[in-house]
């Protein structure tokens, strides 16, 4: 019996260690672009090793319970010591299997690497398109932050003689001002608004190497608004955000008390944990407890509380005209979640849900609809 129990424990431990080793190997291969791991059947393979290891431990536990029914062949104290060591060893193995891969995955997804830098983290996104490529005049600004940090921004003036106001634009996760904000700026400048296109820290031309999905980016929104006031840019001031950018705007309103004259929120999520779960399901990975562990380790690594990062709870603080834009085919956030978020906004508001759009800017799917809705909002300010 003891031999059987030890064999089951060893087999279970081996299965769990193989799972950790496989996860690290695949992460490394994916990180260096050697292999696209998302084409592999990750869910059944992971379930095989995880469930197999746990079943071995349960089998060993069953053997131990059965042994308790027969006369002991060793002193009771020694038997209890073996039992305790086995229990603590099993718990430690399980904790390692669950936490090491999620810790590394979290670090990789929330850090960026400069060109040529080796290590965990995604390659730092850069802007490959300039406003001048779309016929827009612009000037590059550096918005100073505390310490040596800065945000890079493009100021794009309207060609009209008397600007109607200023729009500050913020990109989504791993997006840049060049990849996501130039097309909207074209419309805003044609409507008579100066534009300030801002890279969050960690992307584009800005300093930094971390991404917090709107949590610390909210402070970038606050600083950008202060900088616009320092430049004495014309008012009213409108804030436009894409995905994470819209979440950062909402968080800045709710927690920092900023008071823009209007906001355009495109593709926000309602609950951070749900947004993580939906991405895991899309890639065929178990949502529980992976999502909870990713949010936990992200909170630890960046000194924030991701479990309370829920725009649906930021929405009641919005007290200015609001345009909320969503795609019905969005894989990350459901229409029901957006409707609930929209219901929490008490200010004058408009919701646009495009049947054709997914988690993509509406301006790239139906520009006429995007332009018309934006113009309608701006005419109400």
Reported as a single tens digit per residue, the pLDDT across 42-82 is: 666 666 667 777 677 677 767 666 665 444 455 555 555 55
Residue 121 confidence (pLDDT): 86
Q: Are residues 53 and 189 in the same domain?
A: no
Q: Which of 68, 84, 109 is the last residue of a domain?
A: 109
Secondary structure of the chain in HEC code, one letter for each residue = CHHHHHHHHHHHHHHHHHHHHHHHHHHHHHHCCCCCHHHCCHHHHHHHHHHHHHHHHHHHHHHHHHHCCCCCCCCHHHHHHHHHHHHHHHHHHHHHHHHHHHHHHHHHHCEEECCCCCCCCEECCCCCCCHHHHCCCCEEEEEECCCCCEEEEEEECCCCCCCCEEEEEECCCCCCHHHHCHHHHHHHHHCCEEEEEECCCCCCCCCCCECCCCCCHHHHHHHHHHHHHHCCCCCCEEEEEECHHHHHHHHHHHHHCCCCCEEEEECCCCCHHHHHHHHHHHCCCCCCCHHHHHHHHHHHHHCCCHHHCCHHHHHHHCCCCEEEEEECCCCCCCHHHHHHHHHCCCCCEEEEEECCCCCCCHHHCCHHHHHHHHHHHHHCC
Q: Which of 109, 133, 150 is the last residue of a domain?
A: 109
In a domain, 229, yes or no: yes
Q: Are residues 98 and 137 in the same domain?
A: no
Q: Are residues 99 and 12 in the same domain?
A: yes
Q: Are residues 17 and 105 in the same domain?
A: yes
- Residues of the chain above pLDDT 70, percent: 81
For residue 326, pLDDT beyond 80: yes
Number of domains comprising the chain = 3
pLDDT in tens, 188-223: 999 999 999 999 999 999 999 999 999 999 999 999
Q: Are residues 129 and 222 in the same domain?
A: yes
Predicted TM-score (pTM) of this structure:
0.82
Average model confidence (pLDDT) for the chain?
88
Mean per-residue pLDDT, 294-303: 94
Q: Are residues 100 and 10 in the same domain?
A: yes
Q: Are residues 146 and 215 in the same domain?
A: yes
In a domain, 253, yes or no: yes
pLDDT band at 84 (very low <50, low <70, confident <90, very high): low
Q: Are residues 214 and 363 in the same domain?
A: yes
For residue 83, pLDDT beyond 90: no
pLDDT band at 40 (very low <50, low <70, confident <90, very high): low
In a domain, 50, yes or no: yes
Range in 113-122, 230-239, 270-279, 322-331 with the lowest mean pLDDT: 113-122
Q: Are residues 328 and 299 in the same domain?
A: no
- Residues of the chain above pLDDT 90, percent: 67
More confident residue, 11 or 192: 192
Mean per-residue pLDDT, 79-105: 70
Q: Are residues 374 and 348 in the same domain?
A: yes
In a domain, 298, yes or no: yes
Residue 283 confidence (pLDDT): 83
Residue 95 confidence (pLDDT): 75
| CATH number, position 217 | 3.40.50.1820
In a domain, 134, yes or no: yes
In a domain, 116, yes or no: no
Q: Which of 43, 78, 109 is the last residue of a domain?
A: 109
Residue 351 confidence (pLDDT): 98
Q: Which residue range is the domain that position 339 belongs to?
A: 123-271+310-379
pLDDT in tens, 141-179: 999 999 999 999 999 999 999 999 999 999 999 999 999
For residue 330, pLDDT beyond 90: yes
In a domain, 41, yes or no: yes
In a domain, 28, yes or no: yes
Q: Are residues 132 and 225 in the same domain?
A: yes
pLDDT in tens, 177-196: 999 999 999 999 999 999 99
Of 10-14, 56-60, 238-242, highest mean pLDDT: 238-242
Q: Are residues 250 and 370 in the same domain?
A: yes
């Amino acid at each position: 019996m003891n031999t059987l129990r030890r064999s089951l424990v060893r087999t279970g431990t081996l299965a769990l260690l193989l799972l950790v080793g496989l996860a690290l190997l695949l992460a490394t291969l994916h990180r260096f672009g050697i292999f696209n791991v998302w084409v592999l059947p990750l869910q059944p393979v992971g379930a095989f090793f995880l469930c197999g290891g746990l079943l071995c431990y349960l089998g060993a536990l069953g053997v131990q319970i059965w042994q308790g029914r027969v006369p002991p062949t060793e002193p009771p104290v020694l038997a209890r010591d073996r039992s305790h060591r086995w229990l603590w060893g099993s718990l430690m193995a399980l904790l390692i299997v669950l936490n090491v891969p999620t810790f590394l995955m979290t670090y990789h997804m929330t850090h960026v690497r400069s060109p040529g830098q080796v290590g965990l983290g995604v390659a730092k996104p850069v802007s490959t398109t300039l406003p001048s490529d779309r016929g827009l005049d612009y000037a590059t600004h550096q918005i100073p932050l505390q310490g040596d940090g800065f945000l890079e921004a493009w100021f794009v003036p309207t060609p009209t003689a008397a600007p109607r106001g200023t729009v500050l634009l913020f990109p989504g996760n791993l997006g840049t001002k060049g990849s996501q904000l130039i097309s909207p700026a074209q419309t805003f400048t044609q409507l008579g608004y100066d534009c300030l296109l801002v890279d969050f820290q960690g992307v584009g031309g800005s300093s930094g190497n971390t991404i917090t999905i709107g949590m610390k980016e909210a402070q970038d929104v606050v600083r950008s608004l202060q900088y616009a006031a320092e430049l004495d840019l014309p008012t009213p001031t409108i804030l436009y955000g894409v995905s994470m950018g819209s979440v950062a705007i909402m968080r800045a309103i709710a927690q920092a008390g900023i008071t823009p004259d209007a906001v355009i929120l495109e593709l926000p999520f309602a609950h951070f944990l749900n947004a993580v779960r939906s991405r895991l399901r899309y890639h065929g990975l178990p949502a529980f407890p992976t999502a909870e562990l990713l949010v936990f380790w992200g909170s630890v690594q960046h000194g924030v509380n991701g479990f309370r990062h829920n725009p649906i709870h930021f929405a009641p603080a919005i007290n200015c005209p609001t345009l909320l834009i969503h795609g019905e085919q969005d894989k990350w956030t459901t229409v029901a979640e957006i409707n609930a978020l929209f219901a929490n906004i008490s200010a004058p508001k408009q919701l646009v849900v495009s049947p054709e759009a997914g988690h993509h800017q509406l301006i790239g799917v139906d520009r006429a609809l995007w332009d018309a809705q934006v113009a309608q909002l701006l005419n109400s300010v």
